[in-house]
Amino acid sequence: MKTYSAKPSEVEAKWWIIDAEGVVLGRMASVIAMRLRGKHKAMYTPNIDCGDHVIVINADKVHLTGKKRSDKLYHWHTGYPGGIRSRTAANYLDGPKSDTVVRKAVERMLPKTKMGREQYRKLKVYAGSEHPHEAQQPEVLNLAAMNDKNKRGAAA
């Protein structure tokens, strides 16, 4: 029996929408990374981009377990000597760039290659519940219903 290898012309990318309200960040990010890579499909081929497009809404209402909201740090360097800077997850979630936490979680689960960057571009993250992708007719992916552990917080 021959091994099946997908061709780029055979790949059909779907659109998914995920509501991040109350969903655990790491669990959500791993599902999103899997969808972006296409590993949920039977036709998955490592050297072909088989992934789908993912829209995340309510990214500012994502749940972080334990004390990660106050203790988790995001570091960057300004490029100057002694220019290491850091910010907590709470600072991002309460500030104007509240989608950064979700973006970074997914970005760090994708491969650090050309294809990984191409797959990352298929991720659309919005802090509120509005998004401009209604024309693509995205299907709802209910992470809270997949597993009891996926949804936490006051609503769970």
pLDDT at position 156 is: 44
d(CA 29, CA 109): 8
Q: Report the predicted TM-score, pTM, of the whole model to 2 decimal places.
A: 0.93
pLDDT digits 0-9 by tens, 119-151: 999 999 999 999 999 999 999 999 989 999 999
pLDDT band at 1 (very low <50, low <70, confident <90, very high): confident
What is the per-residue pLDDT across 35-93, written as a single tens digit (0 to 9) for each? 999 999 999 999 999 999 999 999 999 999 999 999 999 999 999 999 999 999 999 99
CA dist., res. 56 & res. 123, Å (int): 8
- 75-86: burial string, b at 16+ Cβ within 10 Å, e else: eeeeeeeeeeee
Query: How confident is the model over 18-47, as pLDDT tens digits?
Result: 999 999 999 999 999 999 999 999 999 999
- What is the reported pLDDT for 97? 93
Band of residue 153 on the pLDDT scale cut at 50, 70, 90: low
Give residue for tokens 């377990």.
Answer: 65
